Structure 1
Amino acid sequence: MAQEQLVETIRQAIAAAQRAGDLPAFEWDNEVPIDRPRQPEHGDFATPVAMKLAKAASAKPRDIAEAIIKHLGEGDLVTAAEIAGPGYINLRLNPAWLSNQVDEVLRKGAVYADLERGKGIRAQVEFVSANPTGPLTLGHARGAVLGDTLAAVLTAAGYEVTREYYFNNAGLQMESLGETLRIRYLELLGDYSQPLQDGKHYQGEYMHWIAATLFAFHGDSWRNKSVPEFKNLAVDTIFADIRNTLRRLSVEFDVYFNEDSLYHTGDVEDVIESLKEHEWLYFQDGAWWFKATSFGKDKDRVFVRSNGMPTYRVPDIAYHRNKLQRFDRIIDVLGADHKDAVPDVLDALRALEEDTSGISVLIHQFTTLIRDGEEVKMSTRRANYITIDELLDEVGADAVRYFMLALAPTTHQTFDINVAKSRKENENPVVYIQYAHARACGILDREAPKRGIAYDPAAPASTLTHEAEIHLINEMLRLREVIARIEEDLEPHRLAYYARELASAFNTFYDKCPVLRTDVPPDVQQARLKLTAAARIALARTLALMSMSAPEEIV
């Protein structure tokens, strides 16, 4: 809202200054950098555009800034502009314009901050993508929340978004899974007594559970079944569990893409043959090597082993070629254990003359779980881990989603389960944010009717001039900027930061600007009720973008 209008106002001021002779004629890219200053005393927005134009205009930045301010005009958007430092222009929005935006928020409702920049663009977000070898763990939770939130924000930015889960249910790890289930089943029949091999078999309690369920329904009729049959049963059972876990976390995928299909369609073989044809693969020591050093890597990579089997990078390349046929923008949300493979996949795509400019990769760091000050170690095969389901049982989906989102993906995360379980506002930001929404609901739906105060949506908002009221309006409008920034930079943690700041602005408004007190003038009261209603929309929309609940009351 405000940011876009300010950019256009500044462009018009530059053009007016040139027409008036206060600035010389020059060519420029028409891009106006503008952002919120870190310190409120510097205004609502600041732009270094004058410093950007100094070379083209052959003038001092402060002189350019002075000319721009002179021609900002008498519009209703900006109430004050001043030059700071070497040539920054600090801008303050007109309180009258800001108060009018309350009506805009109420009129547009939940979509008030949505954008259209992605209109007509097909976007895919691939995330989680865990093979069905066991329950989803704490590490998968972070990727799930980051990917799902990115998808929600891209949808709000106008994109046609597909959430996709890529998996492999073939290969040696799946054979080990089937063999493990067969052993656990035979143990129940008393036909097997050898211990599982550490590092080969899956030690988790879930394998006992699957075996016990199998025995309960089929008795000893599976005694002579093959390992592949046990594998298929294990995969189906684990995948059903994965889907259920994701639903509990409020994550729903549009597509589950099976890596094995790329072999059946010939896409994997086509990648290998195309790379050979373009001489990007060479044969040495019985294997086919990709010329990774031609792309600046320290050594070449094996793409086809001596036994004729492709390494896992090859189907990933085929998968991305498939993605490029289906989508305009592709975002891969991957754990830190994938960081070495990603450059090879992108290099191979470029070698195949594919346009990779639409592919973005978000690598997130690992999560450490702290319980009572002690770190909990995790390993899928040793089964010493915390599953997402266990975490959901302890702290709930809202806490899991918020804390998994709260830090930049590039930052190693420590998840403190004690903080996540706290119900105190000053300890748990989830409670703090949700309580702000519940407080707004309480004013509008319970306290005002109880006192016989009828909320009039048509009442003017012009009396909203208090510093706390203006700050809250500004914060509500900032959601549009947050969505735009995340869409550009793929930094979904900004939404978690914003949620706390919006809640803080509302709570400050609540403390400093009484809404229902008897000594509040009727016109001020009605304006503050309108602002409370608009804030409720903003808080609910922010929580919805994080797929968190917006409770109407907290007991």
Structure 2
Amino acid sequence: MNLFSDIRALVTDALAQMEQAGELPVGLDTAAVTVEPPRDAAHGDMATNAAMVLAKPAGKKPRDIADALAARLAADPRITSAEVAGPGFLNLRLAPGEWQGVIRAALREGADYGRSTLGQGHKVNVEFVSANPTGPMHVGHTRGAIFGDALASLLAFAGHDVTREYYINDGGAQVDVLARSAYERYREANGLEPEIAEGLYPGDYLIPVGEALKAKYGASLLDRPESEWLVEIREFATEAMMAMIRDDLALLGVEMNVYSSEKALYGTGRIEAAIERLKSAGLIYRGTLEPPKGKLPEDWEAREQTLFRSTAFGDDVDRPIQKSDGSWTYFAPDIAYHWDKIDRGFDALIDVFGADHGGYVKRMNAAVAALSNGRVSLDIKLIQLVKLFKNGEPFKMSKRAGTFVTLRDVVEQAGADVTRFHMLTRKNDAALDFDFARVLEQSKDNPVWYVQYASARVNSVVKKAAEMGVDTSDAALAEADLVRLNHSAELELARKVAEWPRIVEIAARANEPHRIAFFLYDIASDLHSLWNRGNDELSLRFVQDGDADTTAAKIALVRAVGVVISAGLGILGVTPAKEMR
């Protein structure tokens, strides 16, 4: 059930009737008509912009449309009043039975309440993390992993067919550096002093890799030249790093559906096939680029290169795909990889990257548009940095990693649930502060604790009602006499429950899972507020001693809130608290 969608359908039906009656021109586009909560709750339960967005195409004054629309809507039993405000906004008040119906729907639908058919089964590929397989995941990867996983869950909840994918960047020079670093740890395992030269990876995490190499090869590689061991150790070390990365992701409850390898694109003809597709469309040519901004002419050596005409799709400059020596630029395998995803039949692609990939957005959007003839959309989400603190002081780097704080460091100190929720309390393109003391404190200022406290309160009050003999099963509560929920504060909480399906669709359309975290905080705040009012107004207490029927109605409301919180936390990948400790 989506009450906002139902009332919007009522509005559009009324507009259609106005067209038939000659009050509006036939064929008006109502796509921009919305029904949403008013900015000021005192103005009503819902508001529609119908008159405002249709006035110009209809050639009428907004107020005239609003007055006629209000008259039709007021005739519906679900609407108790329809009032025109300002230049033509229409504020609606709904009958209490509509909010009570929302409570029943939440209890009957349970975990499916708020699920949407918005996605219509469209196939969406969410590629996230995709960290270089050269070491453990750091805190930046942590935020990207959580964001990508929550976004995938959100889209699935909204009706999309979602694939979680990790692109292994194992085709570049960094894996050669990994191999050389692992070789030094292999020498160390054989009793020699490792030579961790500048540019190699210094972290202790490679010590077990060196020991494993010794177990496999003994001392046989010590006197062999690099050309004889580089490829073999590179593969061995890469597999070891990917095993570590999978373990790190498991700490957060993240499980990928697909792991794709960059290296697998080379020597298979896939890169060539993708470039040929662009070439056949007239988008590949030999040319010379202008010098980058800020470069003096004497600093710039112009040379002819093979270029992709990305400016035809909104990019600032055309992009090189092949170097003068005939080797591919890093952009070429990325084009091939996205062509592979398009070829697998995805309707939409989402890439989750670090903030340092900002310059990558336009060129990759251009490539996907060109490769798919505009059929497949690409949304690149950039994840801003995380600043770590402990009691207000910057958190020190990890010795194990060598140069950074690892995902494991964060999860071991804060816990997976706290880490996941807090990483989603800011929009992805906003920087985030993560203070280990603050995220664990028990206060209203800590969103994760406040929401989990609401979840625990729901369980506590339901348990108390059961102890007094009330049947607290959702099926029984859905049949309670909900007319007893007539206080404005109770109806306000019911309105919040009604917003949940709408929030899911808004967040899914924008690819913004942080909206779920924000909403959970809001509904938790409303529940706590009603609880606190019960301390002064006995009639608002959830458990009414000696009155099982009224208690059942109030517990139905509380359980409906619990259904929403549980569903929302499920999207975020957080386990709802049953009790606070």
Shorter-chain TM-score tier:
over 0.9
2:368 touches 2:376 (CA, 8 Å); kept in 1?
no
The equivalent of 2:203 in structure 1 is 204
1:394 touches 1:421 (CA, 8 Å); kept in 2?
no
TM-score normalised according to structure 2 size: 0.89
The equivalent of 1:501 in structure 2 is 522
What amino acid maps onto 2:417 in structure 1?
Answer: D
The equivalent of 2:291 in structure 1 is none
What amino acid maps onto 1:280 in structure 2?
Answer: I
> C-alpha distance in 1, partners of 2:414/2:364?
38
1:77 touches 1:94 (CA, 8 Å); kept in 2?
yes
What amino acid maps onto 1:451 in structure 2?
Answer: M
The equivalent of 2:294 in structure 1 is none
What amino acid maps onto 1:77 in structure 2?
Answer: R
> C-alpha distance in 2, partners of 1:56/1:536?
44
Moved more, 163-172 or 488-497: 163-172
1:549 equivalenced with 2:553 (yes/no)? no
1:309 equivalenced with 2:312 (yes/no)? no
1:376 touches 1:385 (CA, 8 Å); kept in 2?
no
2:383 touches 2:428 (CA, 8 Å); kept in 1?
yes
Displacement of 1:19: 4.5
What pairs up with 1:136-147 in 2 under 5 angstroms? 136-147=137-148
- Residue ranges of structure 1 left out of the alignment (5+ in a row): none
- Residue ranges of structure 2 left out of the alignment (5+ in a row): 289-302, 534-539
- The one of 344, 353, 366 equivalent to 2:363 is 344
What amino acid maps onto 1:540 in structure 2?
Answer: S
Displacement of 1:356: 5.3
1:275 touches 1:281 (CA, 8 Å); kept in 2?
no
1:114 touches 1:157 (CA, 8 Å); kept in 2?
yes
Displacement of 1:310: 0.9
Change in Cα spacing, 1:368 to 1:291, as seen in structure 2 (3 Å) is same
> C-alpha distance in 1, partners of 2:399/2:325?
28
1:203 touches 1:381 (CA, 8 Å); kept in 2?
no
Displacement of 1:145: 1.2
1:476 touches 1:535 (CA, 8 Å); kept in 2?
yes
1:428 equivalenced with 2:428 (yes/no)? no
The equivalent of 1:251 in structure 2 is 254
Displacement of 1:386: 0.9
What is the CA deviation profile of residues 503-522 of structure 1, one whole-angstrom value per residue up to 9, with x for unaligned ones?
11222232332022427x44
Note the aligned Cα RMSD (angstroms). Answer: 2.4
> C-alpha distance in 2, partners of 1:153/1:295?
30
> C-alpha distance in 2, partners of 1:52/1:454?
48
1:124 touches 1:161 (CA, 8 Å); kept in 2?
yes
What amino acid maps onto 1:102 in structure 2?
Answer: I
- Describe the SS at the equivalent of 2:36: coil
- The one of 478, 490, 497 equivalent to 2:511 is 490
What is the CA deviation profile of residues 79-136 of structure 1, one whole-angstrom value per residue up to 9, with x for unaligned ones?
2221111111111222111112211111111101101122331111111111211111
- Describe the SS at the equivalent of 2:233: helix
The equivalent of 2:286 in structure 1 is 282
Moved more, 106-115 or 57-66: 57-66
% identical aligned pairs: 35
> C-alpha distance in 1, partners of 2:433/2:4?
35
The equivalent of 1:407 in structure 2 is 426
> C-alpha distance in 1, partners of 2:124/2:399?
32
- Describe the SS at the equivalent of 1:71: helix
What is the CA deviation profile of residues 196-224 of structure 1, one whole-angstrom value per residue up to 9, with x for unaligned ones?
232x2111121234324544676545535
> C-alpha distance in 2, partners of 1:159/1:46?
29
> C-alpha distance in 1, partners of 2:430/2:96?
39
> C-alpha distance in 1, partners of 2:570/2:370?
41
The equivalent of 1:439 in structure 2 is 457
The equivalent of 1:266 in structure 2 is 269
> C-alpha distance in 1, partners of 2:220/2:213?
10
2:391 touches 2:438 (CA, 8 Å); kept in 1?
no
> C-alpha distance in 2, partners of 1:293/1:537?
49
1:463 equivalenced with 2:484 (yes/no)? yes
- Describe the SS at the equivalent of 2:90: strand
The equivalent of 1:335 in structure 2 is 354
What amino acid maps onto 1:462 in structure 2?
Answer: V
2:103 touches 2:557 (CA, 8 Å); kept in 1?
yes
- Describe the SS at the equivalent of 2:130: coil
> C-alpha distance in 2, partners of 1:505/1:542?
16
- Describe the SS at the equivalent of 1:235: helix
The equivalent of 1:531 in structure 2 is 557
Moved more, 131-140 or 338-347: 338-347
Displacement of 1:367: 1.7
The equivalent of 1:109 in structure 2 is 110
The equivalent of 1:44 in structure 2 is 45
The equivalent of 1:223 in structure 2 is 222
What is the CA deviation profile of residues 412-471 of structure 1, one whole-angstrom value per residue up to 9, with x for unaligned ones?
22222221122x1324211111111111111113x2233344444332211111122112
> C-alpha distance in 2, partners of 1:292/1:126?
22
> C-alpha distance in 2, partners of 1:18/1:291?
48
- The one of 532, 543, 546 equivalent to 1:516 is 543
Change in Cα spacing, 1:450 to 1:221, as seen in structure 2 (3 Å) is farther
- Describe the SS at the equivalent of 1:72: helix
The equivalent of 2:468 in structure 1 is 451
The equivalent of 2:182 in structure 1 is 181
The equivalent of 1:25 in structure 2 is 25
What amino acid maps onto 2:532 in structure 1?
Answer: D
> C-alpha distance in 2, partners of 1:479/1:7?
16
Change in Cα spacing, 1:216 to 1:324, as seen in structure 2 (3 Å) is closer
2:179 touches 2:234 (CA, 8 Å); kept in 1?
yes
The equivalent of 2:154 in structure 1 is 153
TM-score normalised according to structure 1 size: 0.92
1:202 touches 1:381 (CA, 8 Å); kept in 2?
no
1:128 touches 1:140 (CA, 8 Å); kept in 2?
yes
Change in Cα spacing, 1:504 to 1:298, as seen in structure 2 (3 Å) is closer
- Describe the SS at the equivalent of 1:82: strand
Displacement of 1:229: 2.2
Moved more, 389-398 or 113-122: 113-122
> C-alpha distance in 1, partners of 2:372/2:542?
63
Displacement of 1:357: 4.4
Displacement of 1:172: 1.3
The equivalent of 2:125 in structure 1 is 124
Change in Cα spacing, 1:33 to 1:252, as seen in structure 2 (3 Å) is same
> C-alpha distance in 1, partners of 2:278/2:13?
52
What pairs up with 1:369-388 in 2 under 5 angstroms? 369-376=388-395, 383-388=402-407
What is the CA deviation profile of residues 241-285 of structure 1, one whole-angstrom value per residue up to 9, with x for unaligned ones?
111111110111110011122224311122334445535231663
